[in-house]
Amino acid sequence: MMTILITMMVMTCVSVGLMAVCAIISKKSILDREKMSPFECGFDPKSSSRIPFSIQFFLIAVLFLIFDIEIVIILPMVLTMSSSMIKTWFMTVSMFIIILMAGLLHEWKNGILEWAN
C-alpha cells in the first residue's frame, strides 16, 4: 500500500514539474512573438509566410502509423502459433485481418486514399 502511495506522489511531482517547465517555456515564446513574425526588408509581408498544411498528407501519415502498429501486433502472433491451439490461433488472426481489410475498404470507399483530387 505504501509503495502505491509513493508511486502516486512521484507521478504527481513529475507531472507538476513538467507543467511548470512548459509554462516557463511558453512565456518566453509569448515575449518573442514580434521576433517570430515574418519580416521582408522592413515591410509587411505580401502573403502568408507559412504554406498551408495538406490534410491529405496527414491522413496518409496516420494510416501509415496505424498499419505499422498493426504489423507490430501481428508479429508476435507468429511466435504464439506453435504454443497455442491452431483453431483458436487461426480464428484470432482471421478476425484481426478481416477487421484490417474492412477498415482499408472503408477508407478506400470514402476517398481517403486518393492523393490527387
Task: Give yes or no: residues 38 and 70 share one domain.
Answer: no
Task: Give the domain range for residue 96.
Answer: 55-109
Residue 91 lies in a domain: yes
% of the chain surpassing 90 pLDDT: 16
Task: Give yes or no: residues 39 and 60 share one domain.
Answer: no
Q: What is the pLDDT of residue 11?
A: 95
Residue 23 lies in a domain: yes
Average pLDDT over residues 52-64: 78
Please write down the HEC assignment for all residues of the chain: CHHHHHHHHHHHHHHHHHHHHHHHHHHHHHHCHHHHCCCECCECCCCCCCCCCCHHHHHHHHHHHHHHHHHHHHHHHHHHCCCCCHHHHHHHHHHHHHHHHHHHHHHHHCCCCCCCC
How many domains are contained in the chain? 2
pTM to 2 decimals?
Answer: 0.46
Residue 114 lies in a domain: no
Q: What is the pLDDT of residue 19?
A: 92
